Amino acid sequence: MVNENELRSIIEQVLTEMQLEPKETPAAGESHASPNHIAATVIEEGYIPDVTAVDIRTQYLVENPVNKEAYADLKAYAPCRLGIGKAGARVKTDPVMQFRAAHSAAQDAVFSDVDQEFVDHMGLFSVQTQCASKDVYLTRPDLGRKLDDEGVKTIKEKCKSNPKVQIYVSDGLSSAAVAANVGDVLPAILQGLKSYGIDTGTPFFVKYGRVGAMDQISEITGAEVTCVLIGERPGLITAESMSAYIAYKATVGMPEARRTVVSNIHKSGTIPAEAGAHIAEIIKKILDHKASGTDLKL
């Protein structure tokens, strides 16, 4: 079994071979850092830059390009992984790490739940669809369109009956989108509708919800217009994109063409606070014209 002094000697030898200077050995009787502390110190000094902080619209890694300026100008209009260059026959390390980080963020957004503390902070009560777990939610989309019996009962008890507008929040396929955007979007919508003198119902949160759940919720509350703020399927550009689906007198089984959608709500797309004001304006137009989706000409 290796004792502490032998372990320290091994670590110092490795650091020397890596051309990193170990801390000086303390004099006899002085306290010294543990081997774990030494390793942690070296890692801290040689930190790796955050690959997620790179704006890929401005990243151009092609060596000796023919017309870099024109290509980079085109790339600035779309956050695509273009012009990332190669190292021999392979993609360079930075773009590969950025891709893996984006993929991990997308997986986290899908498989994690919205923090209950966030829901409570927003002043929302919670109900659930007929999906008993995240696995069921991902494999049975039909169950995500129907509330469980307890959810139906709770909405009937806590929500205002027959409001002009019923707004609610749902996790959808991205918990990250809800956490990143709802705090700005929901208050902006409510403020906008209030300025128009439009009556709103009691907002709440639906766990494991699909867009189609809004149809049942519309029938339960008797709302003239129903709006759901829901996390969208994350991509490799952002895992925080949220959408608002809005429908006039939604009913179970109605065609998707009756929904009006405001999509791409996130910090690098439609700014959340601006999206809220825009959604309020659209809801007013829906009420004025008594139509939504393809029946509404915006």
Least confident of 46-55, 77-86, 189-198: 46-55
In contact, 95 and 137? CB cutoff 8 Å: no
Find the helix or strand (DSSP H, E) in which 106 lies.
Answer: helix 93-111
Q: What is the 3-state secondary structure (H, E, C) of 193-235?
A: HHHCCCCECCCEEEECCCCCHHHHHHHHHCCCEEEEEEECCCC
Amino acid at 284: K
Handedness of CA 279, 283, 286, 288 (dihedral sign): negative
Query: In this predicted model, what pLDDT tens digit does every residue of 21-74 receive, in sequence order?
Result: 545 555 555 544 444 444 444 445 556 677 777 887 788 888 888 888 888 888
- Cα–Cα distance measured from residue 249 to residue 197, given in angstroms and rounded to the nearest whole number: 19
For the chain, the domains span 4-45, 51-109, 116-295
Helices 175-195/93-111 angle, 10° precision: 70
Query: In this predicted model, what pLDDT tens digit does every residue of 144-184 receive, in sequence order?
Result: 999 999 999 999 999 999 999 999 999 999 999 999 999 99
- Report domain 51-109's class: mainly alpha
- Token pair belonging to 287: 């009420």
- Report domain 116-295's class: alpha beta
Which DSSP symbol is given to 172?
T
